[in-house]
Amino acid sequence: MPKVVTLPGDGIGPEVTAAAAEVLREVAPDVHIEEHAIGGAAYEQFGDPFPQRTRDALRDADAVLLGTVGGAQNSPWNALPRHLRPESGLLALRRALGCYANLRPVRVLPGLEHLSPLKPELARGVDILIVRELLGGIYFDGDRKIEGDTAYNTMRYTTPEVERVARVAFWAAEQRRGRVTSVDKANVLEVSELWRRDVQALRDREYRNVHLNHEYVDSVAMLIVANPSRYDVILTENLFGDILSDLAAVIPGSLGLMPSASLGDGPGLFEPIHGSAPDIAGQGIANPAAAIMSVAMLLRHGLERPQVANQVERAVALALREHPTRDLGGQADTRTFTHAVLDAMGSPSVG
């Protein structure tokens, strides 16, 4: 029996995770779902944002479904020592799972172009996959310190780290339109020179059927909103990927529409990219679409059930058109939208 561990986390995390788990139970009744704590909620209960009992539960998991982690800017959690803050639990989770490649699809669903802040003619047909390196670079390098009025962080990559995430991007491009844009800042950063060299060498050696081009991160930041349809798969390192994926996330019209998958050596981690939204937590109005579409990615990449994943994605698209949530200008609350997705699963256009 496949095992999925859910980590609801903080803020609206428990609400959207419950909705996503309900859909997962409906489409995959054979899956065993086990819930554990992470983030601020885990700190409050166990004094650790990534407690040992959560670590232990992951050992025999086939996939992990995460809600959200963190509190408001004025949360007392932010005054804790860094290793006890909720976000440290998330970083430790990624490291424990060996999730080095983060996949963030940016897709404007047909009929929902009006939700995008871009002109409809620019938003129409946008379908980008951002592949972000997740375990290296400036976020994870131990060479960091604050010393009086000086502080520093170090960005560092090795060839094996670059090659393993680049393979994911090239593999994904082979399933899509066959184009990879590798993003760096090789004109000023030595670490980007290494990145560009290694990505190009891997492509020339193993993926000659994939078209590869290199672009600077500042150029991509402009073009991803000025001409998003030019991109198929975007490959980049951790810091640049964090910024670009959040920038691209506004294109579909709401962070509530953005799922993600983090893949690597162990079970995959699947999560919506929106924050914990503590200002609306507990009100039952959070948009669960991203969490439910993260279940679709879990079905595709974690449980290898692509046909069921496609059904969930079509059901979400139909529910969004007929029952938009409040952040999209509609009236549907969390429960209403979840039921709309479940009802849509039985629609002839979905099955």
Residues serving a catalytic function are 139, 185, 218, 242, 246
Between CA 78 and CA 98 the distance in angstroms is 26
Residue 35: strand pairing partners: 6
Between CA 290 and CA 274 the distance in angstroms is 8
Between CA 259 and CA 63 the distance in angstroms is 15
Judging by beta carbons within 10 Å of its beta carbon (0-12, 13-18, 19+), is residue 64 exposed, middle or buried? buried
Helices 306-322 and 289-297 pack at an angle, to 10 degrees, of 160
β 127-133/259-264 pair status: unpaired
Are residues 54 and 89 in contact, defined by beta-carbon separation less than 8 angstroms?
no
β 99-107/259-264 pair status: antiparallel
Between CA 144 and CA 305 the distance in angstroms is 42
Between CA 6 and CA 130 the distance in angstroms is 24
| 199 C-beta neighbours (distance < 10 Å), count | 24
Between CA 156 and CA 189 the distance in angstroms is 11
**DSSP per-residue codes, 138-192:** GGT-S-EEEETTEEEE-----HHHHHHHHHHHHHHHHHTTSEEEEEE-TTT-HHH
Could you say which DSSP state residue 332 is in? B
Between CA 116 and CA 125 the distance in angstroms is 12
